[in-house]
A and B are shown apart, each in its own frame.
Chain A
Amino acid sequence: MSLIGWLKGNRLVDVTAQDPLPVQQQGAITSRTADTLFANTTSVTADANRDLLGSTATELPTLDGCMQYRKLVWFYFRAGADATTYRVLARATDHNGAPLGAGWQEIAPATPLPGEANTWGRIEIPSAGDGYYDQYRIEVRRTGGSGYTLTSKIVGVR
C-alpha cells in the first residue's frame, strides 16, 4: 500500500501509475531559457575603449542586469575584414545595482575578432564556465584597415 492516497470518486485510492495524483491544468506552460538582450549595428572604429553601443565611457556597461544569465552568446555579422579586436569586461553589483568597485574584471583580453568580410561569428561569454555577472562591457576596436559595420545580437542563456 502506498503511503499517499487521494479521494477518487468518494473512494480513497493509492497513488499508482494508473492513478496518479490529480493536478490542475494551469494553461499552456511555456519555458524559456534564453532571451534576446541586444540587437545593434555598430561602426567599427579605431577608437580605444569603444563598446558595441559606441560609448567610450569606460565605466558604462554595455549590458546591465544580467545576473540571471549563466552565459551570453554573441552572434555577429561583420561587413569588413579589417583587423579588429574585441575585449570583454564584467563585474558584479550589489542588490542596489551599485558596482562593488570601480573598474572591471577582464574576462576576455583583447582578441582578434574572427571572420572575414561578410561572415558570421559566434562568441560565448564567458568562454568557459558560467558568468552570472551583473554587468558586461564588450569593446570592439579596429587595429588596421578602414571602418566597417558590425551587426550583433546577444542572447542571454539562463
Chain B
Amino acid sequence: MTPKVCLVLLNLGNFNRAWTQILRNLGIDYTLCVTTGGATSASIQTPQGVFSPSSPDLRSYFRQFDAVILCDNSNSLSATSMVNYSVFWLSWNDPEDPAFLFFNPHFSAAITESGYNSNFPSDFSIVRPNPSDIAGTLYAADGGSASSSNPLSATGTGGRGACILFLAENIRAHVQTICNTHTNTIPYYWKLDTAKHSTLADTAYTHRVARNERAGEILAVPAPPTSSEDTETYPSDCVAAYRYRNIFWLPHAMARTQRAVNLWDAEVSPFVFWLLYGLQAAGVRPRYRLPVQIETSRPLEALDASSNPPYSLREQCDFLLASWDWMRDFARRKGTAIVNGVRVGGRDRAAGSRQHWGILYNTSHPAEAREAAMRVHQILVAGHREGTTPCGPHDYTIGSGNGLWGSAVNTGYIRHAGRQRGTPNNVPIARGNFCVAPHVLPTGVADRDAQTVQVGDTELIEWEISTSGAGDTFDLPMGNIHAARMIIEGHIDEMLALGFPDGYCAGHRYTNTASNNSGGECYWQALKEFGFRGVRSSSNCTGISIKRVPPNRIWQGFHLVGDEAVDNCSSGAVFSRGLYLPSAPSGGDAVRHYLLDHGSDISANWATGQVAAWRAYRRLLCQTTSIWLHGTAVELSSAYFHPNQSLMCVSLADATLPFEGWSRLGPYGTPHYNHAVELLENMDAIVRLLPDVLYWGTITDVMDHRERVMG
C-alpha cells in the first residue's frame, strides 16, 4: 500500500513548503485541500469536489487516507476562527476513519461560533485555552519568558527549550515544543482535564492508532528534572501531546508562513520533529526512512596561546582524545559513520603548527602532547578503515584561506616537492588561450601540444596553455580543470601520507570542503575523475562569490550536499566558552550564538539561579537538534560541527560525562558541557523514538536517498 495523507490548509499564500518536501522525502503521497475560510461554514475544496466540512461525503473522502493533517495555526488565542471547520472531525472516530493530526490546534475558548462550541466533544480532555484566563487554562513553558517575536515563526535561532518524556516509549528527548502561544509570545503547554481523561483512559476503544486500546492517551509530557538544581517543574496535569480517540493533539510543527523549500536556502523549520512523530503515531508507514548522520570539520587540531584558550595544547588533545574515543564507539554502536574533513595542506604549504599535520609532526611540541594527538589520529585512521570515522581532505591553505577556488589566483601556491611523486613536472595550470570543440576544429590549426579537456558535457581542444615550470612554487590561477586536478591530487597524496588508505572517506567517496567552498564545475569534474561522488557545499560555492551550485545540488551525477552548522558558538569567536559566560565575546557562548536569552531569563539569573544553566542547556540542545533534523528531513543535507571549537567547554576530568549543571564544572567555573556527547545522544533518543521514519545511516545513504527522491 502506498502511504497517503491529506493536508488541509486555508490558502497557499501562508503555506510552508517544508510540509510537502518532507512527505516527498519520505515517499508519502499527499493531497492538498484548500478551505474557503476558517469558520464551520467553510467549504473544503478537494480534487474530487467541494464538500461541507460536516458532510458524510467528506468523511467518506477522508477515509482513503492514512491521516488527515491540519496545517493552519494561530499565534493569538483571541482569534475567533482558524480551523473551526475541523470540529466535526473530532467525532469521526470509527475504525474506518483516518487518524487526524492537529498540530498547534486553535481551540481557544475565545471561539464564539456556536457551530464550533456545540459540536466540540464534551468528553475532550484537554482544557480549552482561554485568553482571559491563561494561567488557569495553560502552563507557561520554558521558564515562562516571552520570545522577542512570534516563536512559531522562529528559524535557525531563538529556539525554545523543552525536554519531553514520551510515556509509551519511556524516552526523554529535547525537542522544540510549543503547544500553543499567544500575542504575548510566551510558549505554552496544555492543561489536562484529569477527570475527563480518567474516563477516556478507562474507555475501551478500537482503532489502529490506539496502541493501548483506550479512548484517551497521554503521549508526552514535560520530563521531570533530573537534578535538584533544575527547578523548572510542571504539574502532573501538564501535557505536551495527547491522543483523543483517533485524533492526535500535537504541538506546533510548521510556521504558517510563505516559505519556499529552495534547495539553496531553505530556512530552518525547527519544529519538524512533531510532524515526523505525528506521522509515525498515526501509523503512516513511509516508503523510505531518512538516514541520520553527522560530520565534523577539522577533527584534530588545537588553538595556540594567541587565541587565549582555557586549556594547554596537551589538555586540548586530551579532551579530543576522550571525545573521539566516545564518538567512534557511538558510531560503532549505532551503525553510523561520522565523516570528518581533515585539514590538509600542512605538509606542502604553510599551515599552523597545531593543525592536523603540524600537531603530529612538529617536534617543538611537548612529547606528551604529540603523543595524545597521535592517539587521536590513530582513532581517526582506524575508524576510517572500519567505517566509523571516514576522513577526507579539507584545505584552508589555498585560495587565500577560502579553499577550492577561494581566490582567482592562488599566489605562491606550493605543490609537492619530490617524495614519492618525484620532481615536479612542468604541467598546465590554466585554461589554454585557444579552446575549440573538436568537431569544429579545422585540421592543422591546433598546436602540437594541444590537450583535450572535458568538463561536464563540454569537450574542447586547448592549446597555448600556461604551465607551471619545474619549480614547486608558482602563482596558480584557480578557475580551471588543470588547477583543480593538481590541488586534489595533492590532497589525496597528503591523506595517504597521513596514513589513511584513501583520500575520500573510503567507500563513501566524499569529503566536506573547507569553508564549504566546492569550487564550481572544474573542481566537480576533477573530483569526479579522482573518484569522488560528492562533497559538502554551500550554495555560493566559491570563496570569491562568482558561482552557485545547481538548483537541485546535483551536477552531472555529482552531489553537492548542503551544509548546516550546529556548533555551540560562532566561528568568529574561535571557541566555545560554554553554555553562557558573561565575559564571553559576541557569539562566544551558545546562548549568544543562537539568541537563546529570552527576556534575559538566562543572563539575568546566571549568577543567582542554578536553573538558568539547565534552561540554556535545554534550549541549545533543542536548537541544534532542530537544525540537524531540518537538514535530515527537509534538505537531505549535512549537519556538522568543529570538535576543538565546540568541545572547549568540557571538564578535563570528565570530558565525556553528561551535563550535570553546576555539579560538574568546566573551564571558567561554568557547567561542563560536551556538545558531541549531548547532541548525538539526543539525536539518538529521537531516532529511537521514530524507528519508522529515521535510522542511523551514512553520507552514502544520504546521497543514495537524494538520487531516489530527487530524480
B431–A98 touching, CB < 8 Å = yes
B161 at the interface (CB under 8 A from A): no
- The answer to whether B550 has its CB under 8 Å from any CB of chain A is yes
Chain A residues in 8 Å Cβ range of B665: none
Q: A96-B431, A97-B520 are in contact. Are A41 and B550 (CB under 8 A)?
A: no
Instruction: Chain A residues near B548: list those with CB within 8 A.
Output: 60-64
| B460 and A95 contact, CB distance less than 8 A | yes
Does A4 have its Cβ within 8 Å of any Cβ on chain B? no
Residue-wise, chain A 133-149 has the 8 Å CB interface mask toward B (1 for contact) of: 00100000000000001
Partner of A53, one of B261, B264, B481: B264
A39 interface residue, CB < 8 Å from B? yes
Q: Which B residues are in CB contact (< 8 Å) with A149? A: 258
> Of the candidates B260, B521, B545, which one forms a contact with A40 in the assembled complex, judged by CB atoms under 8 Å apart?
B260
A96 touches B521 (CB 8 A): yes
Chief secondary structure at chain B's binding surface: loop
A39 to chain B, nearest CB (A): 5
- Taking the complex as formed, is B233 at the interface, i.e. its CB lies under 8 A from any CB of chain A? no
- Known A-B contacts A53-B264, A64-B548; A96 and B455 likewise in contact (beta carbons under 8 Å): yes
Q: Which of A38, A53, A61, A64 counts the most B-chain CB atoms under 10 A from its CB?
A: A64
A39 to B12, CA, bound (A): 14
Whether A41 lies near B264 (C-beta < 8 A) is no
Q: Given the known A-B contacts A40-B262, A41-B260, A149-B258, are A97 and B549 also in contact in the complex, defined by CB atoms under 8 Å? A: no
Asked if A20 is an interface residue, CB under 8 A from chain B, the answer is no
The one of A54, A55, A62, A96 in contact with B520, judged by C-beta atoms closer than 8 angstroms, is A96
- Other-chain contact of A61, B13, B262, B546 (Cβ < 8 Å): B546
* CB–CB A97/B262 < 8 A: no
A54, A61, A96, A135, most chain B CB atoms within 10 A: A96
* Min CB–CB distance B2 → chain A (angstroms): 21
Please give the distance in Å from A61's CB to the nearest CB on chain B: 5
User: How far is it, in angstroms, between the C-alpha of A68 and the C-alpha of B472 when the chains are bound?
Assistant: 39
Within residues 464 to 512 of chain B, which ones have a CB less than 8 A from any CB in chain A?
Answer: 479-481
Complex Cα distance A43/B564, Å? 22
Nearest CB in chain A: distance from B436 CB, A: 11
Knowing A95-B458, A96-B520, A151-B260, the reply to whether A59 touches B544 (Cβ < 8 A) is: yes
Asked whether B435 is an interface residue with its Cβ less than 8 Å from the other chain, the reply is yes
Known contacts A94-B431, A97-B520; is-contact A60 B262 (Cβ 8 Å): no
Q: How far is the CB of B660 from chain A (nearest CB, A)?
A: 42
Q: Is B572 close to A, CB under 8 A?
A: no
**Chain B CB within 8 A of A46 CB:** no
A7 interfacial by beta-carbon distance below 8 Å: no
Bound CA span A113–B481, Å: 40
A3 within 8 Å of B (CB atoms): no
B478 to chain A, nearest CB (A): 9
Is B237 engaged at the interface, CB distance under 8 Å to the other chain?
no
Bound CA span A62–B549, Å: 10
Q: Which residue of B lies closest to A152 (CB)?
A: B260
On chain A, the number of residues with a Cβ less than 8 Å from chain B's Cβ atoms is: 27
Q: Which B residues are CB-close (under 8 A) to A60?
A: 540, 545-548
Q: Which residue of A lies closest to B458 (CB)?
A: A95
Complex Cα gap A61–B539 (Å)? 11
Residues 512-536 of B contacting A (Cβ, < 8 Å):
520-522
Verify if B259 is at the interface (C-beta below 8 Å from A): yes
Are A151's CB and B258's CB within 8 A?
yes
Contact of B262 among A39, A94, A135 (CB under 8 A): A39
Q: Which of A39, A54, A59, A97 contacts B455 (CB 8 A)?
A: A97
Interface residues of A in 26-63 (CB under 8 A from B): 36-41, 53-55, 57, 59-63
A112 in the interface (beta carbon within 8 A): no
- The answer to whether B522 and A64 have CB atoms under 8 Å apart is no
Interface flags, A115-145, vs B, CB<8A=1, else 0:
0000000000000000000010000000000
User: A55 → chain B, closest Cβ, in Å?
Assistant: 7
A residues within 8 A CB of B17? Answer: 39
Q: Is A55 within 8 A of B540, CB to CB? A: yes
A75, B453: Cα distance in complex, Å: 38
Chain B residues, Cβ within 8 Å of A38: 262, 551
- B435 in complex: contacting residue of A61, A64, A79, A94, CB < 8 Å: A94
In the bound complex, how far is the Cα of B551 from the Cα of A21, in angstroms?
42
- Residues in B neighbouring A63, C-beta threshold 8 A: 548, 551
List A contacts of B480 (CB < 8 A).
96, 98
Question: Is A109 close to B, CB under 8 A?
Answer: no
B467 CB to closest chain A CB, in angstroms? Answer: 17
Residue of A nearest to B16 (CB): A41
Min C-beta distance of A37 to chain B, whole Å: 5
A54's closest neighbor in chain B, by CB? B265
Which residues of B lie under 8 Å from residue A99 when comparing CB positions? 546
Q: Are B521 and A97 in contact (CB under 8 A)?
A: yes
Write out the residue numbers on chain A whose beta carbons fall within 8 Å of the beta carbon of B521: 65, 95-97
B261 — which chain A residues lie within 8 A by C-beta? 39
Q: In the bound complex, do residue B479 and residue A97 qualify as a contact, i.e. CB atoms below 8 Å apart?
A: yes
Give the nearest-CB partner of B17 in chain A: A39
In the bound complex, residues from chain A placing their C-beta under 8 Å from that of B555 are 65
Q: Choose among B259, B460, B522, B547 the residue that contacts A41 (Cβ–Cβ < 8 A).
A: B259
Within 8 Å CB of A65, what residues of B?
Answer: 521, 550, 555
Cβ–Cβ contact A95 & B546, under 8 A: no
Q: Closest residue of chain B to A96, judged by CB?
A: B522
B264 touches A95 (CB 8 A): no
- A37–B551 CB distance below 8 A: yes
Are A97 and B435 neighbours in the complex by a CB distance under 8 Å?
no
Chain A residues within an 8 Å CB radius of B550: 64-65
Residue among B262, B431, B460 with the highest chain A CB neighbour number at 10 A: B262
Which residue among B259, B265, B548 has the maximum number of chain A CB atoms within 10 Å of its CB?
B548
B543-572 contact mask (Cβ, 8 Å, vs A): 1 or 0: 011111111000100000000000000000
In the complex the two chains form, what is the Cα distance from A40 to B540 in whole Å?
Answer: 16
Q: How far is the CB of A149 from chain B (nearest CB, A)?
A: 6
Query: Given A96-B431, A96-B520, A97-B522, A64–B260 Cβ distance below 8 Å?
Result: no
Task: Return chain B residues, CB-CB under 8 Å to A97.
Answer: 455, 479, 520-522, 547
- A29 and B265 alpha carbons, distance in the complex (Å): 34
- Cβ of A64 to closest chain B Cβ, rounded Å: 4
How far is it, in angstroms, between the C-alpha of A6 and the C-alpha of B131 when the chains are bound? 85
Contact residues in A for B520 (Cβ distance below 8 Å): 96-98
In the complex, what distance in Å separates the CA atom of A149 from the CA atom of B545?
25
A95 to B455, CA, bound (A): 6
Q: How far is the CB of A94 from chain B (nearest CB, A)?
A: 6
Find residues 152-173 in chain B having any chain A CB closer than 8 Å to their own CB: none
In the A-B complex, the 8 residue pairs with the closest CB atoms = A97-B521, A98-B479, A96-B522, A64-B548, A97-B520, A57-B545, A60-B545, A95-B458
Interchain residue pairs with CB less than 8 A apart (16): A38-B262, A39-B17, A41-B259, A57-B540, A60-B545, A61-B547, A64-B547, A95-B521, A96-B522, A97-B455, A97-B479, A97-B547, A98-B431, A98-B480, A135-B547, A149-B258
Which residues on A are within 8 Å of B, measured CB to CB?
36-41, 53-55, 57, 59-65, 79, 94-99, 135, 149, 151
- Chain B interface (Cβ < 8 Å from any Cβ of A): 13, 17, 258-262, 264-265, 431, 435, 453, 455-456, 458, 460, 479-481, 520-522, 539-540, 544-551, 555
- 12 further interface pairs, Cβ-Cβ under 8 Å (given A38-B262, A57-B545, A98-B480): A40-B264, A41-B258, A59-B546, A61-B547, A64-B548, A95-B453, A96-B479, A97-B520, A97-B522, A98-B520, A99-B546, A135-B547
